[in-house]
Structure 1
Protein backbone atom coordinates (compact mmCIF):
# COMPACT_ATOMS: atom_id res chain seq x y z
CA UNK A 1 0.00 0.00 0.00
CA UNK A 2 1.57 3.30 -1.06
CA UNK A 3 1.74 6.12 1.48
CA UNK A 4 -0.43 9.22 1.10
CA UNK A 5 0.69 11.11 4.23
CA UNK A 6 3.96 10.64 6.08
CA UNK A 7 4.71 12.48 9.32
CA UNK A 8 8.27 11.86 10.53
CA UNK A 9 10.12 13.08 13.61
CA UNK A 10 7.70 15.95 14.22
CA UNK A 11 7.99 17.96 17.44
CA UNK A 12 5.79 20.85 18.63
CA UNK A 13 6.29 22.77 21.88
CA UNK A 14 4.07 25.39 23.50
CA UNK A 15 5.83 27.45 26.21
CA UNK A 16 8.25 24.61 26.90
CA UNK A 17 5.54 21.91 26.94
CA UNK A 18 6.03 19.28 24.22
CA UNK A 19 2.55 18.66 22.76
CA UNK A 20 4.05 16.51 19.96
CA UNK A 21 7.25 14.64 20.68
CA UNK A 22 9.18 13.09 17.76
CA UNK A 23 5.92 11.82 16.23
CA UNK A 24 5.99 9.54 13.20
CA UNK A 25 2.77 8.45 11.45
CA UNK A 26 1.86 7.08 8.02
CA UNK A 27 -1.44 6.48 6.26
CA UNK A 28 -2.16 4.86 2.89
CA UNK A 29 -4.29 6.12 0.02
CA UNK A 30 -7.53 4.32 0.83
CA UNK A 31 -7.33 3.52 4.51
CA UNK A 32 -9.47 4.03 7.60
CA UNK A 33 -7.50 4.76 10.79
CA UNK A 34 -8.63 5.51 14.34
CA UNK A 35 -6.45 7.67 16.61
CA UNK A 36 -7.07 7.28 20.34
CA UNK A 37 -5.33 8.34 23.55
CA UNK A 38 -5.91 10.14 26.85
CA UNK A 39 -6.63 13.88 27.07
CA UNK A 40 -3.46 15.82 26.35
CA UNK A 41 -2.01 13.00 24.22
CA UNK A 42 -1.59 15.34 21.23
CA UNK A 43 -4.52 14.17 19.08
CA UNK A 44 -5.83 17.66 18.25
CA UNK A 45 -2.31 19.09 17.82
CA UNK A 46 -1.59 16.23 15.39
CA UNK A 47 -4.55 17.36 13.25
CA UNK A 48 -3.46 21.00 13.63
CA UNK A 49 0.01 20.30 12.22
CA UNK A 50 -1.32 18.27 9.27
CA UNK A 51 -3.78 21.04 8.33
CA UNK A 52 -1.26 23.88 8.77
CA UNK A 53 -2.93 25.46 11.79
CA UNK A 54 0.22 24.79 13.86
CA UNK A 55 3.77 24.76 12.50
CA UNK A 56 6.09 22.06 13.83
CA UNK A 57 9.41 23.04 15.42
CA UNK A 58 11.09 20.05 13.83
CA UNK A 59 10.43 17.13 11.47
CA UNK A 60 8.82 16.49 8.07
CA UNK A 61 5.23 16.17 6.81
CA UNK A 62 5.18 14.74 3.29
CA UNK A 63 2.06 14.54 1.16
CA UNK A 64 0.85 12.82 -2.01
CA UNK A 65 2.48 11.21 -5.03
CA UNK A 66 5.31 13.75 -5.19
CA UNK A 67 5.97 13.82 -1.43
CA UNK A 68 5.32 17.57 -1.20
CA UNK A 69 6.25 19.12 2.15
CA UNK A 70 3.22 20.53 4.00
CA UNK A 71 5.44 22.35 6.51
CA UNK A 72 5.04 26.09 6.00
CA UNK A 73 2.15 25.71 3.53
CA UNK A 74 -0.93 27.85 4.31
CA UNK A 75 -4.14 26.25 5.61
CA UNK A 76 -5.95 27.21 2.38
CA UNK A 77 -3.25 25.63 0.19
CA UNK A 78 -3.39 22.43 2.27
CA UNK A 79 -7.17 22.24 1.72
CA UNK A 80 -6.60 22.73 -2.02
CA UNK A 81 -4.00 19.95 -1.95
CA UNK A 82 -6.78 17.58 -0.82
CA UNK A 83 -6.92 17.53 2.99
CA UNK A 84 -10.31 18.11 4.64
CA UNK A 85 -10.97 18.43 8.36
CA UNK A 86 -14.15 18.07 10.36
CA UNK A 87 -14.17 19.62 13.81
CA UNK A 88 -16.21 18.25 16.74
CA UNK A 89 -19.02 20.81 16.57
CA UNK A 90 -20.86 20.70 13.25
CA UNK A 91 -20.71 23.96 11.28
CA UNK A 92 -23.37 24.08 8.59
CA UNK A 93 -25.34 27.00 7.14
CA UNK A 94 -28.51 26.57 9.21
CA UNK A 95 -30.66 28.99 7.15
CA UNK A 96 -29.91 27.07 3.95
CA UNK A 97 -31.33 23.74 2.83
CA UNK A 98 -29.30 20.52 2.86
CA UNK A 99 -29.10 20.75 -0.94
CA UNK A 100 -27.84 24.36 -0.83
CA UNK A 101 -25.19 23.46 1.77
CA UNK A 102 -23.90 20.64 -0.42
CA UNK A 103 -23.98 22.79 -3.60
CA UNK A 104 -21.93 25.50 -1.85
CA UNK A 105 -19.33 22.90 -0.88
CA UNK A 106 -18.79 21.44 -4.39
CA UNK A 107 -15.33 21.98 -5.89
CA UNK A 108 -15.96 24.85 -8.29
CA UNK A 109 -14.33 28.05 -9.49
CA UNK A 110 -14.70 30.34 -6.45
CA UNK A 111 -13.88 33.72 -8.00
CA UNK A 112 -16.31 36.49 -6.84
CA UNK A 113 -17.99 36.75 -10.26
CA UNK A 114 -18.50 33.02 -10.70
CA UNK A 115 -19.99 32.79 -7.19
CA UNK A 116 -22.33 35.71 -7.89
CA UNK A 117 -23.69 34.20 -11.11
CA UNK A 118 -23.51 30.54 -10.10
CA UNK A 119 -26.48 28.39 -11.15
CA UNK A 120 -26.27 24.66 -10.48
CA UNK A 121 -26.26 22.53 -13.62
CA UNK A 122 -27.58 18.97 -13.99
CA UNK A 123 -24.19 17.46 -13.11
CA UNK A 124 -23.98 19.54 -9.89
CA UNK A 125 -27.49 18.48 -8.83
CA UNK A 126 -26.73 14.83 -9.64
CA UNK A 127 -23.52 14.95 -7.58
CA UNK A 128 -25.39 16.53 -4.65
CA UNK A 129 -28.09 13.83 -4.84
CA UNK A 130 -25.33 11.19 -4.81
CA UNK A 131 -23.66 12.80 -1.75
CA UNK A 132 -27.00 13.09 0.06
CA UNK A 133 -27.61 9.37 -0.48
CA UNK A 134 -24.10 8.59 0.80
CA UNK A 135 -24.71 10.50 4.05
CA UNK A 136 -28.29 9.28 4.51
CA UNK A 137 -29.96 12.66 3.87
CA UNK A 138 -31.53 12.01 0.46
CA UNK A 139 -35.00 12.42 2.00
CA UNK A 140 -34.01 15.73 3.60
CA UNK A 141 -32.51 17.61 0.61
CA UNK A 142 -35.01 20.47 0.80
CA UNK A 143 -35.12 20.73 4.59
CA UNK A 144 -33.42 23.65 6.32
CA UNK A 145 -30.19 22.47 7.90
CA UNK A 146 -31.14 24.15 11.19
CA UNK A 147 -34.02 21.67 11.53
CA UNK A 148 -31.76 18.61 11.42
CA UNK A 149 -30.81 16.57 14.49
CA UNK A 150 -27.27 16.82 15.87
CA UNK A 151 -26.31 13.56 14.15
CA UNK A 152 -27.77 14.65 10.81
CA UNK A 153 -25.82 17.93 10.99
CA UNK A 154 -22.66 15.89 11.54
CA UNK A 155 -23.48 13.83 8.44
CA UNK A 156 -24.17 16.97 6.43
CA UNK A 157 -20.80 18.42 7.38
CA UNK A 158 -19.09 15.15 6.38
CA UNK A 159 -21.01 15.39 3.08
CA UNK A 160 -19.82 18.98 2.58
CA UNK A 161 -16.24 17.83 3.05
CA UNK A 162 -16.74 14.91 0.65
CA UNK A 163 -18.15 17.40 -1.89
CA UNK A 164 -14.66 18.93 -2.03
CA UNK A 165 -13.33 15.48 -2.96
CA UNK A 166 -10.46 15.39 -0.43
CA UNK A 167 -7.87 12.62 -0.58
CA UNK A 168 -7.56 12.68 3.23
CA UNK A 169 -10.42 13.34 5.65
CA UNK A 170 -9.62 14.14 9.30
CA UNK A 171 -12.66 13.67 11.55
CA UNK A 172 -12.72 14.76 15.20
CA UNK A 173 -14.94 12.74 17.59
CA UNK A 174 -17.87 12.18 15.21
CA UNK A 175 -19.79 9.93 17.63
CA UNK A 176 -20.06 12.52 20.44
CA UNK A 177 -23.66 13.30 21.33
CA UNK A 178 -25.17 10.81 18.87
CA UNK A 179 -27.89 8.25 19.43
CA UNK A 180 -26.90 4.56 18.98
CA UNK A 181 -28.68 4.47 15.58
CA UNK A 182 -26.85 7.63 14.45
CA UNK A 183 -23.51 6.14 15.52
CA UNK A 184 -24.24 3.03 13.48
CA UNK A 185 -24.98 5.16 10.40
CA UNK A 186 -21.85 7.28 10.99
CA UNK A 187 -19.73 4.11 11.03
CA UNK A 188 -21.18 3.14 7.64
CA UNK A 189 -20.54 6.62 6.16
CA UNK A 190 -16.90 6.66 7.28
CA UNK A 191 -16.19 3.09 6.15
CA UNK A 192 -17.71 3.85 2.75
CA UNK A 193 -15.68 7.07 2.41
CA UNK A 194 -12.47 5.17 3.23
CA UNK A 195 -12.92 2.92 0.18
CA UNK A 196 -11.79 5.79 -2.07
CA UNK A 197 -9.68 8.02 0.24
CA UNK A 198 -7.81 8.05 3.54
CA UNK A 199 -9.95 8.74 6.62
CA UNK A 200 -8.47 9.43 10.08
CA UNK A 201 -10.94 9.40 12.97
CA UNK A 202 -9.95 10.81 16.38
CA UNK A 203 -12.30 9.22 18.93
CA UNK A 204 -12.73 8.48 22.64
CA UNK A 205 -15.65 6.07 22.30
CA UNK A 206 -14.11 2.58 22.26
CA UNK A 207 -17.33 0.91 21.12
CA UNK A 208 -17.41 3.24 18.12
CA UNK A 209 -13.74 2.49 17.35
CA UNK A 210 -14.50 -1.24 17.55
CA UNK A 211 -17.28 -0.82 14.98
CA UNK A 212 -14.91 0.96 12.60
CA UNK A 213 -12.86 -2.27 12.58
CA UNK A 214 -9.65 -0.62 11.41
CA UNK A 215 -6.03 -0.09 12.41
CA UNK A 216 -5.69 1.98 15.60
CA UNK A 217 -2.89 4.39 16.55
CA UNK A 218 -2.57 5.18 20.27
CA UNK A 219 -0.98 8.53 21.13
CA UNK A 220 0.52 9.37 24.53
CA UNK A 221 2.50 12.50 25.43
CA UNK A 222 2.69 13.48 21.76
CA UNK A 223 4.17 10.22 20.46
CA UNK A 224 2.87 6.88 19.13
CA UNK A 225 2.56 4.48 22.06
CA UNK A 226 1.13 1.51 20.14
CA UNK A 227 -0.36 0.64 16.77
CA UNK A 228 -2.38 -2.27 15.39
CA UNK A 229 -5.88 -3.71 15.65
CA UNK A 230 -8.04 -2.58 18.60
CA UNK A 231 -7.66 -6.01 20.22
CA UNK A 232 -3.88 -5.78 19.81
CA UNK A 233 -3.50 -2.30 21.33
CA UNK A 234 -5.95 -2.89 24.18
CA UNK A 235 -3.83 -5.85 25.33
CA UNK A 236 -0.68 -3.69 25.35
CA UNK A 237 0.37 -3.14 28.98
CA UNK A 238 1.58 0.42 28.32
CA UNK A 239 -1.79 1.33 26.79
CA UNK A 240 -3.63 -0.25 29.75
CA UNK A 241 -1.45 1.73 32.19
CA UNK A 242 -1.73 5.18 30.60
CA UNK A 243 -5.18 5.08 29.03
CA UNK A 244 -7.51 2.17 29.60
CA UNK A 245 -6.75 1.79 33.29
CA UNK A 246 -8.22 5.22 34.06
Structure 2
Protein backbone atom coordinates (compact mmCIF):
# COMPACT_ATOMS: atom_id res chain seq x y z
CA UNK A 1 0.00 0.00 0.00
CA UNK A 2 1.48 3.33 -1.04
CA UNK A 3 1.49 6.37 1.23
CA UNK A 4 -1.02 8.99 0.08
CA UNK A 5 -0.64 11.64 2.80
CA UNK A 6 2.18 12.31 5.23
CA UNK A 7 2.54 14.92 7.98
CA UNK A 8 5.92 15.23 9.63
CA UNK A 9 6.97 17.42 12.56
CA UNK A 10 3.86 19.57 12.29
CA UNK A 11 3.29 22.22 14.99
CA UNK A 12 0.54 24.83 15.25
CA UNK A 13 0.13 27.38 18.04
CA UNK A 14 -2.81 29.68 18.71
CA UNK A 15 -1.95 32.54 21.11
CA UNK A 16 0.86 30.51 22.64
CA UNK A 17 -1.25 27.34 23.01
CA UNK A 18 0.11 24.39 21.00
CA UNK A 19 -2.94 22.85 19.32
CA UNK A 20 -0.68 20.50 17.32
CA UNK A 21 2.70 19.60 18.77
CA UNK A 22 5.36 17.99 16.54
CA UNK A 23 2.79 15.64 14.98
CA UNK A 24 3.76 13.02 12.42
CA UNK A 25 1.11 10.91 10.67
CA UNK A 26 0.71 8.94 7.48
CA UNK A 27 -2.08 7.12 5.68
CA UNK A 28 -1.97 4.87 2.64
CA UNK A 29 -4.30 4.43 -0.31
CA UNK A 30 -6.65 2.65 0.07
CA UNK A 31 -6.97 2.70 3.86
CA UNK A 32 -9.55 3.32 6.59
CA UNK A 33 -8.25 5.06 9.73
CA UNK A 34 -10.03 6.20 12.89
CA UNK A 35 -8.76 9.14 14.96
CA UNK A 36 -9.77 9.30 18.60
CA UNK A 37 -8.77 11.41 21.60
CA UNK A 38 -10.18 13.68 24.28
CA UNK A 39 -11.66 17.12 23.51
CA UNK A 40 -8.84 19.55 22.78
CA UNK A 41 -6.57 16.75 21.49
CA UNK A 42 -6.16 18.57 18.15
CA UNK A 43 -8.44 16.42 15.98
CA UNK A 44 -10.22 19.34 14.27
CA UNK A 45 -6.99 21.32 13.83
CA UNK A 46 -5.44 18.21 12.26
CA UNK A 47 -8.20 18.19 9.62
CA UNK A 48 -7.97 21.98 9.19
CA UNK A 49 -4.26 21.61 8.33
CA UNK A 50 -4.89 18.92 5.71
CA UNK A 51 -7.61 20.99 4.03
CA UNK A 52 -5.61 24.23 4.08
CA UNK A 53 -7.84 26.06 6.55
CA UNK A 54 -4.99 26.33 9.09
CA UNK A 55 -1.32 26.80 8.23
CA UNK A 56 1.21 25.12 10.52
CA UNK A 57 4.11 27.06 12.08
CA UNK A 58 6.49 24.18 11.39
CA UNK A 59 6.62 20.85 9.60
CA UNK A 60 5.65 19.44 6.24
CA UNK A 61 2.45 18.02 4.77
CA UNK A 62 2.88 16.09 1.51
CA UNK A 63 0.29 14.35 -0.65
CA UNK A 64 0.09 12.10 -3.71
CA UNK A 65 2.67 10.27 -5.83
CA UNK A 66 4.72 13.41 -6.39
CA UNK A 67 4.76 14.24 -2.65
CA UNK A 68 3.40 17.71 -3.38
CA UNK A 69 3.32 20.10 -0.45
CA UNK A 70 -0.24 20.93 0.60
CA UNK A 71 1.19 23.97 2.43
CA UNK A 72 1.77 25.68 -0.92
CA UNK A 73 -1.82 25.13 -2.06
CA UNK A 74 -4.99 27.13 -1.40
CA UNK A 75 -8.09 25.47 0.13
CA UNK A 76 -9.74 25.25 -3.31
CA UNK A 77 -6.61 23.75 -4.91
CA UNK A 78 -6.48 21.15 -2.13
CA UNK A 79 -10.14 20.28 -2.69
CA UNK A 80 -9.54 19.97 -6.45
CA UNK A 81 -6.54 17.71 -5.84
CA UNK A 82 -8.90 15.09 -4.38
CA UNK A 83 -9.28 15.82 -0.66
CA UNK A 84 -12.89 15.97 0.57
CA UNK A 85 -14.12 16.83 4.05
CA UNK A 86 -17.40 16.16 5.76
CA UNK A 87 -18.13 18.31 8.80
CA UNK A 88 -20.11 17.07 11.79
CA UNK A 89 -23.31 18.93 10.89
CA UNK A 90 -24.69 17.89 7.50
CA UNK A 91 -24.83 20.68 4.93
CA UNK A 92 -27.11 19.75 2.05
CA UNK A 93 -29.30 21.96 -0.16
CA UNK A 94 -32.59 21.31 1.65
CA UNK A 95 -34.95 22.71 -1.00
CA UNK A 96 -33.33 20.59 -3.73
CA UNK A 97 -34.08 16.90 -4.23
CA UNK A 98 -31.57 14.20 -3.36
CA UNK A 99 -30.95 13.72 -7.11
CA UNK A 100 -30.29 17.47 -7.62
CA UNK A 101 -27.88 17.55 -4.66
CA UNK A 102 -25.88 14.67 -6.15
CA UNK A 103 -25.99 16.21 -9.66
CA UNK A 104 -24.53 19.49 -8.31
CA UNK A 105 -21.71 17.59 -6.64
CA UNK A 106 -20.65 15.43 -9.61
CA UNK A 107 -17.04 16.09 -10.52
CA UNK A 108 -17.72 18.17 -13.61
CA UNK A 109 -15.61 21.12 -14.79
CA UNK A 110 -16.24 23.93 -12.32
CA UNK A 111 -15.71 27.13 -14.34
CA UNK A 112 -18.53 29.76 -14.37
CA UNK A 113 -19.54 28.80 -17.94
CA UNK A 114 -19.39 25.07 -17.20
CA UNK A 115 -21.97 25.53 -14.45
CA UNK A 116 -24.22 27.66 -16.69
CA UNK A 117 -23.94 25.19 -19.57
CA UNK A 118 -24.42 22.13 -17.37
CA UNK A 119 -26.18 19.41 -19.35
CA UNK A 120 -27.68 16.24 -17.99
CA UNK A 121 -25.70 13.38 -19.47
CA UNK A 122 -26.47 9.66 -19.50
CA UNK A 123 -23.14 9.06 -17.79
CA UNK A 124 -23.97 11.59 -15.05
CA UNK A 125 -27.42 10.06 -14.52
CA UNK A 126 -25.92 6.58 -14.23
CA UNK A 127 -23.33 7.81 -11.72
CA UNK A 128 -26.08 9.44 -9.60
CA UNK A 129 -28.00 6.12 -9.51
CA UNK A 130 -24.78 4.32 -8.55
CA UNK A 131 -24.02 6.71 -5.67
CA UNK A 132 -27.65 6.67 -4.48
CA UNK A 133 -27.46 2.89 -4.23
CA UNK A 134 -24.11 3.05 -2.42
CA UNK A 135 -25.46 5.48 0.21
CA UNK A 136 -28.84 3.73 0.48
CA UNK A 137 -31.00 6.56 -0.88
CA UNK A 138 -32.20 5.07 -4.19
CA UNK A 139 -35.84 5.36 -3.12
CA UNK A 140 -35.40 8.96 -1.95
CA UNK A 141 -33.95 10.48 -5.14
CA UNK A 142 -37.05 12.56 -5.88
CA UNK A 143 -37.52 13.77 -2.30
CA UNK A 144 -36.52 17.27 -1.15
CA UNK A 145 -33.41 16.81 1.00
CA UNK A 146 -34.97 18.81 3.84
CA UNK A 147 -37.43 15.94 4.42
CA UNK A 148 -34.68 13.37 5.08
CA UNK A 149 -33.84 12.09 8.56
CA UNK A 150 -30.60 13.27 10.22
CA UNK A 151 -28.86 10.02 9.29
CA UNK A 152 -30.04 10.17 5.68
CA UNK A 153 -28.74 13.75 5.36
CA UNK A 154 -25.35 12.52 6.61
CA UNK A 155 -25.36 9.80 3.93
CA UNK A 156 -26.37 12.30 1.26
CA UNK A 157 -23.48 14.53 2.22
CA UNK A 158 -21.08 11.57 2.08
CA UNK A 159 -22.59 10.77 -1.34
CA UNK A 160 -21.99 14.36 -2.49
CA UNK A 161 -18.34 13.99 -1.51
CA UNK A 162 -18.08 10.61 -3.25
CA UNK A 163 -19.54 12.25 -6.39
CA UNK A 164 -16.40 14.40 -6.50
CA UNK A 165 -14.35 11.19 -6.53
CA UNK A 166 -11.89 12.16 -3.78
CA UNK A 167 -8.75 10.16 -3.04
CA UNK A 168 -8.85 11.18 0.63
CA UNK A 169 -12.07 11.60 2.58
CA UNK A 170 -12.08 13.25 6.03
CA UNK A 171 -15.24 12.53 8.03
CA UNK A 172 -16.01 14.22 11.36
CA UNK A 173 -18.09 12.29 13.93
CA UNK A 174 -20.46 10.64 11.46
CA UNK A 175 -22.24 8.54 14.13
CA UNK A 176 -23.41 11.52 16.22
CA UNK A 177 -27.20 11.67 16.56
CA UNK A 178 -27.84 8.49 14.56
CA UNK A 179 -30.11 5.56 15.38
CA UNK A 180 -28.38 2.14 15.83
CA UNK A 181 -29.60 1.03 12.37
CA UNK A 182 -28.31 4.25 10.77
CA UNK A 183 -24.94 3.81 12.48
CA UNK A 184 -24.63 0.29 11.12
CA UNK A 185 -25.37 1.51 7.60
CA UNK A 186 -22.83 4.34 8.06
CA UNK A 187 -20.15 1.82 9.11
CA UNK A 188 -20.78 -0.23 5.97
CA UNK A 189 -20.76 2.88 3.80
CA UNK A 190 -17.38 4.09 5.13
CA UNK A 191 -15.82 0.62 4.91
CA UNK A 192 -16.94 0.34 1.28
CA UNK A 193 -15.64 3.82 0.46
CA UNK A 194 -12.25 2.89 1.96
CA UNK A 195 -11.83 -0.05 -0.42
CA UNK A 196 -10.84 2.38 -3.19
CA UNK A 197 -9.56 5.48 -1.35
CA UNK A 198 -8.17 6.73 1.96
CA UNK A 199 -10.84 7.53 4.58
CA UNK A 200 -10.09 9.21 7.93
CA UNK A 201 -12.89 9.11 10.51
CA UNK A 202 -12.74 11.29 13.64
CA UNK A 203 -15.06 9.71 16.21
CA UNK A 204 -15.80 9.61 19.96
CA UNK A 205 -18.05 6.58 19.89
CA UNK A 206 -15.86 3.56 20.72
CA UNK A 207 -18.48 1.04 19.63
CA UNK A 208 -18.64 2.71 16.22
CA UNK A 209 -14.82 2.70 15.97
CA UNK A 210 -14.79 -1.00 16.91
CA UNK A 211 -17.22 -1.78 14.09
CA UNK A 212 -15.00 0.05 11.59
CA UNK A 213 -12.35 -2.58 12.43
CA UNK A 214 -9.44 -0.41 11.28
CA UNK A 215 -6.15 1.02 12.55
CA UNK A 216 -6.66 3.71 15.20
CA UNK A 217 -4.56 6.82 15.90
CA UNK A 218 -4.94 8.39 19.36
CA UNK A 219 -4.21 12.12 19.67
CA UNK A 220 -3.54 13.91 22.96
CA UNK A 221 -2.45 17.55 23.39
CA UNK A 222 -1.69 17.78 19.68
CA UNK A 223 0.65 14.78 19.55
CA UNK A 224 0.23 11.12 18.67
CA UNK A 225 -0.18 9.15 21.89
CA UNK A 226 -0.63 5.66 20.41
CA UNK A 227 -1.43 3.88 17.18
CA UNK A 228 -2.56 0.39 16.23
CA UNK A 229 -5.68 -1.77 16.45
CA UNK A 230 -8.43 -0.63 18.84
CA UNK A 231 -7.59 -3.51 21.19
CA UNK A 232 -3.92 -2.48 21.15
CA UNK A 233 -4.52 1.21 21.91
CA UNK A 234 -7.22 0.60 24.55
CA UNK A 235 -4.73 -1.51 26.55
CA UNK A 236 -2.17 1.33 26.47
CA UNK A 237 -1.90 2.79 30.00
CA UNK A 238 -1.36 6.35 28.73
CA UNK A 239 -4.52 6.12 26.61
CA UNK A 240 -6.47 4.77 29.60
CA UNK A 241 -5.18 7.61 31.80
CA UNK A 242 -5.86 10.54 29.45
CA UNK A 243 -8.91 9.36 27.55
CA UNK A 244 -10.67 6.13 28.42
CA UNK A 245 -10.48 6.51 32.18
CA UNK A 246 -12.59 9.67 32.13
TM-score range, shorter chain: over 0.9
1:92-241 matches, cutoff 5 A: 92-241=92-241
- Displacement after TM superposition at 1:72 (Å): 3.2
Contact 1:92 1:153 in 2 (8 A): yes
Question: Tell me, what secondary structure is at the counterpart of 2:72?
Answer: coil
| Alpha-carbon distance between aligned partners in 2 of 1:126 and 1:237, rounded to the nearest angstrom | 50
TM-score, normalising length: structure 1 = 0.99
| Alpha-carbon distance between aligned partners in 2 of 1:232 and 1:143, rounded to the nearest angstrom | 44
- Displacement after TM superposition at 1:138 (Å): 0.7
Deviations 1:89-135 (A, max 9, x none): 00000000000000000011122222122121100000000000000
Gaps of 5+ in 2: none
| Alignment match, 1:18 | 18
| Alpha-carbon distance between aligned partners in 2 of 1:222 and 1:186, rounded to the nearest angstrom | 28
1:68-87 matches, cutoff 5 A: 68-87=68-87
TM-score, normalising length: structure 2 = 0.99
Deviations 1:144-197 (A, max 9, x none): 000000000000000000000000000000000000000000000000000000
> Is 1:54–2:54 an aligned residue pair?
yes
| Alpha-carbon distance between aligned partners in 2 of 1:153 and 1:211, rounded to the nearest angstrom | 21
Q: RMSD between aligned alpha carbons?
A: 0.6
| Alpha-carbon distance between aligned partners in 2 of 1:59 and 1:139, rounded to the nearest angstrom | 47
| Alignment match, 2:43 | 43
Gaps of 5+ in 1: none
Q: How many residues align?
A: 246
Question: Tell me, what secondary structure is at the counterpart of 1:175?
Answer: coil
Contact 1:52 1:70 in 2 (8 A): yes
Question: Tell me, what secondary structure is at the counterpart of 1:176?
Answer: coil
| Alpha-carbon distance between aligned partners in 2 of 1:70 and 1:86, rounded to the nearest angstrom | 19
